[in-house]
Structure 1
Amino acid sequence: MKEKYPVIQGAESFYFEGNEVGILISHGFMGTPQSVRFLGESLAKHGYTVYGPRLKGHGTHCRDLEKATSAEWFQSLEEGYKRLKRKCSAIFVMGQSMGGTLTLHLANKYGDIRGIILINSALTIPSLEYLRGKSSPRWVPEGKPDIKAKGVFEITYSQAPLTAIHELQQLMEATPPLLPNIAIPVLGMKSSVDHVVPPENTVFIMKNIGSFKKNAVTLHNSYHVASMDNDKEQIVRHCHQFIQQHVYHKVYTG
């Protein structure tokens, strides 16, 4: 279904042309590519080709999100993967919060992904549990973004559609059974304090994922939206290091 509303200024997808190493970056639930743009711009400076797609129903109006499904969110990311495949010989996928959840689903489907990077990936969101099985209210007020740094503005909606929350819950529930089947190298990053997604989510993923090569990083000065928080430069450093460890030498960026 076509989205009814225009894209909010600053919430557009971004693409940076670079070498044969592609990085696909997914934002999270209620977020937009703006929330991960710093990571994309910084990694592009290392020479990588970087694409941050806008997931269906995000970055326009909450009425668009009300009609969107988790299958469409996955399709938005999958289309980004296919776009990078046409250009790149090695692809890494990175996701924050629900974006990390979608990244796990993509990794389960495409075993040729070179590595995945997870930032506060969501398997459970305790604050939304009371809405499970409910048919009302239609809209749920959205609090301030969970960011420790001062003066940071994230483009998001002021309210979340109940239908979309249920889609998110179903997506998260479907994720743990996939973990043993994923053998791709993984870098799992979690904030030590996260008021949205318990850090234990990342601990569970790293323990149960089938990957032989696992790197775990704790971010001590950021909350949930770590890509916009105090540790964002640290995230970029870890990502670049991880990519260099797992990319073929023929496309080594130096």
Structure 2
Amino acid sequence: MSADRSFMLKAGNRAVLLLHGFAGTTEDVKSLGEYLAGNGYTVYAPNFRGHGDEPALFLRTTPEMWYADAVSGYEFLEKEGYHEIAIIGVAMGGVFALKMAESFSPKAIVPLCANVNRKMRYIPVEKYLLKQLSKEGFKAEVSEAMLKSYEPEIKKMTDARSAFYKFVADNIEKIHVPTMIGQGCQDEEIDADNANYIFKNIHTTEKQLCFYQGSGHDIVNDCERDILEEDLLDFLDDLNWLEEKVV
């Protein structure tokens, strides 16, 4: 098991839980976290179990475990004395942000390129595993053979992930907190109609929908990252924070 990649950047009384996506790690959101911290927001980003680990370890984890890691991150910030917490999540992290808003009362949520509509198009498990095996130096033919041996575990994870996302989609009307929805129009993984689905079905009057014409799935690191960061900061700054003192 690799070392924990979670990070915390203390910067102020306002807190943000920052959630990475499937097939990634906290390194993918580190730049955004640093930007937010540079503008006065304390940021905590948990790394989901199995992500960044070798395939055999990764395939022992489940969406429920990853979501539990997100919830633990929220509870960690509360224990640190932060009681108003906004949640920003990328892709699967955005799905987790939506589910947490269905179950908890975060200050606000920001799902970015989150996949929740009924088409259920998302990064296949196989793509993630091939990426990891390539990092470990395995040749293509060896990687393909290893994937073959992992077929039962891959199917189990794929089915569990689909069921998890559909459950979130079915309960999305429970969301009543301020929400900013971001979507890259060049997203090669997620149909942009997911953003419309979220906007239409959440039950809050404080919502905004932002499309980024040149951005793909890795929206926080793509060509319009500066624009996205400014939009995020404007959204967070406009929230009615109590400015309570952190213990």
With structure 1 as the length reference, what TM-score do the two structures score?
A: 0.81
Q: Whole-Å Cα distance in 2 between the matches of residues 212 and 144 of structure 1?
A: 42
- 8 Å CA contact 2:14, 2:241 repeated in 1: no
Superposed displacement of residue 142, structure 1? 4.2
Do residues 140 (structure 1) and 126 (structure 2) align?
yes
- Per the alignment, residue 92 of structure 2 pairs with 98
Identity, in percent, stands at: 22
Q: Whole-Å Cα distance in 1 between the matches of residues 238 and 59 of structure 2?
A: 41
RMSD: 2.5
Q: Whole-Å Cα distance in 2 between the matches of residues 178 and 167 of structure 1?
A: 17
Q: Whole-Å Cα distance in 2 between the matches of residues 43 and 197 of structure 1?
A: 25
Q: Whole-Å Cα distance in 2 between the matches of residues 223 and 45 of structure 1?
A: 25
Per-residue Cα deviation, 1:163-195 (whole angstroms, up to 9, x for no partner): 322222111111122111110000000011211
Q: After the TM superposition, which of the residue ranges 56-65 and 113-122 deviates more from structure 2? A: 56-65
Q: Whole-Å Cα distance in 2 between the matches of residues 140 and 244 of structure 1?
A: 40
User: Larger % of helix: which?
Assistant: 2
Equivalent in 83, 89, 110 of residue 89 of structure 1: 83
SS where residue 58 of structure 1 aligns? coil
- 8 Å CA contact 1:116, 1:186 repeated in 2: yes
One-letter amino acid of the counterpart of residue 27, structure 1:
H
- Per the alignment, residue 204 of structure 1 pairs with 197
Runs of 4+ in 1 over 6 A off after TM superposition: none
- 8 Å CA contact 1:187, 1:242 repeated in 2: yes
Q: Following superposition of structure 1 onto structure 2, how do residues 67-216 of structure 1 map, counting pairs within 5 Å?
A: 67-86=60-79, 87-111=81-105, 113-123=106-116, 124-126=119-121, 140-142=126-128, 161-216=154-209
**Structure whose CA Rg is larger:** 2
Superposed displacement of residue 203, structure 1? 0.7
Distance 1:236 1:13, change over 3 A: same
One-letter amino acid of the counterpart of residue 21, structure 1:
R
Do residues 6 (structure 1) and 2 (structure 2) align?
yes
Q: Following superposition of structure 1 onto structure 2, how do residues 40-59 of structure 1 map, counting pairs within 5 Å?
A: 40-59=33-52
Q: Whole-Å Cα distance in 2 between the matches of residues 28 and 44 of structure 1?
A: 20
- Give the length in aligned residue pairs: 224
One-letter amino acid of the counterpart of residue 105, structure 1:
K
- Stretches of structure 2 lacking an aligned partner (at least 5 in a row): 136-142
Per-residue Cα deviation, 1:213-234 (whole angstroms, up to 9, x for no partner): 0011111121011112112222
Distance 1:240 1:127, change over 3 A: closer
Q: Whole-Å Cα distance in 1 between the matches of residues 63 and 127 of structure 2?
A: 20
